[in-house]
Amino acid sequence: MNRTRSATRPEPPSRHRPVRWALAVLLLASAGCGKGLGEESGDAMARDTAAVEAKQLNTELGHRNRVRDAGSIAAAEIVQQERDATSGGGETVRREALAWSGRTAGDERATVDVRFVVTVPERPPVSIGGASNTAGEATRCYRYEFQLYRYTTYREIDCPSGPAPSPPTAAPVPSLPEDGRQRLTAVLRTATPQTLAGAARAAFPQDWITVDTAVHEGALVAAVGVPAERDCLLLVRTPAGKIEAPGYDRIWLEPGETGCRTGLYVAPPR
């Protein structure tokens, strides 16, 4: 008995399919040559990097709580040599102070103009259609404004032509002498209640240093400090003759609070 096969045989795979795949791969490889599918403008990347760097500097400059002239701010916190950018993409950034004026005292304002010069190297694609960019460069300038007890603000300005001036020099910051603790210790070891005040002032004659002394329950107390810098040295000679440095909350050194006074020990703020 003959049986007829009704099922149709499946069509064999097309002989042309491997050819089509090969052509597609070849086209992709060709497209990946030269500029690449994901190429960006190096100049545009440099401009974006400069903007990011300017914003980062504004954050770093932050809240101003010390009296400083603009030149000192520029010298200590802005001027720097060329370095790698924070983005980590191979860019380099040169930061230059162009102009500075004023100071942060009372209602006065200080300003510093800064130029950012960013260089971006060429980056070829590492794979077919991968990201890449051309070489590029950008220069952008910003003005930073400072005021005492305010956060730094900034805005973009037109860049002047020509080279940057010589970097500014920071003015000396008033401070206690490096051997201040040894000086005050020596005063307390030999002073009497009657001679304490004069001996302490003689050890710290600078007009930017405050001196406050007291006799409290048989102890000799001396506080010397630099109010503008919230710097304070507080020592006590106990009735037993021991020299101690009592602790205190530094918040009381802020403007409007106790300041560097013997009251930090004699009558601690509550």
Residue 91: CB atoms within 10 A of its CB come to 24
What is the rounded distance in angstroms from the CA atom of residue 216 to the CA atom of residue 255? 25
Split at pLDDT 50, 70, 90, the class of 82 is low
The beta-strand segments (E) located in 103-187 are 109-120, 131-133, 136-147, 153-157
Q: What is the pLDDT of residues 6-28, one digit of tens each?
A: 444 545 555 545 444 444 444 44
Question: Could you give the CA distance from residue 264 to residue 249 in angstroms, rounded to a whole number?
Answer: 9
Tell me how far apart the alpha carbons of residues 143 and 73 are, in angstroms, rounded to a whole number: 13
- Return the half-sphere exposure (C-beta side, CA atoms, 13 A cut-off) of residue 90: 13
| pLDDT value for 89 | 64
CA angle 36, 41, 42 (to 5 degrees): 110
Lowest model confidence (mean pLDDT) among 32-36, 179-183, 199-203, 209-213: 32-36
Tens digits of residue pLDDT in 108-126: 999 999 999 999 998 887 7
Q: Which of 239, 240, 247 is nearest to 268 (CA)?
A: 247
Cβ atoms of 140 and 132 within 8 Å: the answer is: no
